Amino acid sequence: MYLKIYDQWRFLIIGLAFFLVLFGCQSANYPIDFEQLGEDERIVIRFSHVVGEDTPKGLAARRFAQLIKERSNGLVEVQVFPNGFLYKDGEELEALLQGDIQMIAPATSKVTSLIPEWSVIDLPFAFNSYEEVHQYLAGSAGQDLISKFDGKGLRMLGVWDNGFKQISNRDHPIYDPKSLQFLKMRIMPSDIIHKQFSSLGAIPREIDFNILFHHLESGDVDGQENTLSNITSKNLYLLQNYITISNHGYLGYVLLMNNQFWEELPDHIQVLITDTLKEVSEWERETAHNLNAKKLKELEACQCIDIYHLSPEERRSWAEEFQPVYDYFIERFGTKYIEALPKYQR
């Protein structure tokens, strides 16, 4: 008799628990803690990038991973591999296409090997502000560039800013473009950046971001161009005596996912990723802008490097020097992408 009552209670409790789980499943998207599942039962997104964790991209990648984990109760895990630990500059795009990793955020310059038209973004003095870049990408030329990822096995999920590039070197101050002559300059892989320096008599050399410090240290190259957050995060400024705040080129990132992986994700996970990235992208942009401004103040305060700011007139005369680079772009891709640049819309 006692056993029967005990059994009735037991079934009641199990039934109630089952009902709660079922009810919970319908009332919230992810009521269960999926962290206990094995890696093959969860959705794992390996996100590889080449910069430090204290950079705009590094910070945003971690925030994205954190929010996705919380919002999916551990069902989706974004594993972030910073500093090129997993794949270096020249390797990560190939690894993504092969499906060895699922997500990367390379600088736009680094996708020009796959889609050369993206090098329009590298044209010197093409943009004066972040807003101009965002508007360009939202317009028809930008949308055309974005659509070029379709059919390449890639899904583009957004753009993150880093900042505008500055020019540093070890040998002498750069007040005008001609002073770049004969300087060996590290560049990202982009024909337009190559042309930007070679047209002035400088000697451009493609070098992976992660080993740039050693190449500057050994004197293989004399200088480089980059954003202040990148220059400081890798201590590059310690090997350079001069920096010109030229803001001559935009450095931002395209968020790319392997398209087959994306297509196989359940719809609600795609929505979760899209919504979360939208939110993180807004945060990333603000973080990037603030971080670069903060790094400039820190460099000014440290008095460890000679800083020269181009005036608005100097920017205008520098921009004129780069007409051959624009002509080179037009020879290859016509005028469509160039004409849509804000400087030709004013």
Which of 166, 179 has the CB closer to ligand SIN?
166
Give min distance, CB of 57 to ligand SIN, in A: 6
Give min distance, CB of 188 to ligand SIN, in A: 5
Give min distance, CB of 250 to ligand SIN, in A: 12
Applying CB under 6 A, among 107, 154, 202, 288 the residue interacting with ligand SIN is: 107
Centre a 10 Å sphere on the Cβ of residue 304 and count the other Cβ atoms it contains: 12
Give min distance, CB of 54 to ligand SIN, in A: 12
Closest by CA position to 177, among listed 45, 318, 296: 318
How many residues make contact with ligand SIN (CB under 6 A)?
A: 9
Give, in order, the Cα–Cα distances in Å from 150 to each of 156, 256, 258. Answer: 8, 11, 11
Applying CB under 6 A, among 67, 101, 188, 310 the residue interacting with ligand SIN is: 188
Which of 107, 228 has the CB closer to ligand SIN?
107
Per CB under 6 A, does 209 bind ligand SIN? yes
Find the binding residues for ligand SIN in span 52-91 (CB under 6 A). Answer: 57
Residues 132/340, Cβ–Cβ less than 8 Å: no
Contact segment (CB under 6 A) with ligand SIN among 49-57, 67-75, 146-154, 282-290 equals 49-57
Contact segment (CB under 6 A) with ligand SIN among 33-41, 50-58, 116-124, 138-146 equals 50-58
Per CB under 6 A, does 230 bind ligand SIN? yes
Q: Which residues contact 177 (CB under 8 A, 6 or more apart)?
A: 200, 318, 321, 322
Which of 277, 288 has the CB closer to ligand SIN?
288
14 token code pair:
């199990």
Per CB under 6 A, does 168 bind ligand SIN? no
Which of 228, 265 has the CB closer to ligand SIN?
228
Amino acid identity, position 312: P
Q: Which residues contact 18 (CB under 8 A, 6 or more apart)?
A: none
Please state, in angstroms and rounded to a whole number, the distance separating the CA atoms of residues 133 and 136. Answer: 5
Contacts 24+ apart (CB under 8 A), 119-122: 119/190, 119/191, 119/192, 119/193, 119/329, 120/145, 120/192, 120/329, 120/333, 120/337, 120/338, 120/341, 121/250, 121/252, 122/190, 122/192, 122/193, 122/196, 122/249
Closest by CA position to 95, among listed 141, 143, 134, 47: 47
Rg (CA), the chain: 24
Per CB under 6 A, does 196 bind ligand SIN? no
Applying CB under 6 A, among 102, 162, 244, 292 the residue interacting with ligand SIN is: 162
Per CB under 6 A, does 247 bind ligand SIN? no
Assign 124 to helix, strand or coil. Answer: coil
Site of interaction with ligand SIN (CB under 6 A):
50-51, 57, 107, 162, 188, 209, 226, 230
